[in-house]
Amino acid sequence: SSSSWDGLSPERRRVLRHHLHLRSSGWIQDPSGKWVKDGNAEFDSDEDEPPELPPT
């Protein structure tokens, strides 16, 4: 069976994987699309900005 994931371009998959990584790391997107720290999440570091999308 084919999933909708299979129909995505490699670049789109890369972006979605990065978004999933940010979400699982405690970052959430506000209504404007900016990544902000989830106040309920614990962070190991004092980073104020989410990690950038890694280069291909």
pLDDT confidence tier of residue 31, bands split at 50, 70 and 90: very high
- Looking at this protein, which amino acid is placed at residue 6? D
Q: What percent of the chain has pLDDT over 70?
A: 95
pLDDT confidence tier of residue 2, bands split at 50, 70 and 90: low
Which residue is it, tokens 């670049």? Answer: 11
Six-digit token pair at 38? 């989830």
pLDDT at residue 45 greater than cutoff 90:
no
Residue ranges per structural domain of the chain: 4-37
pLDDT confidence tier of residue 21, bands split at 50, 70 and 90: very high
Within 10 angstroms of residue 28's Cβ, the number of other Cβ atoms is 15
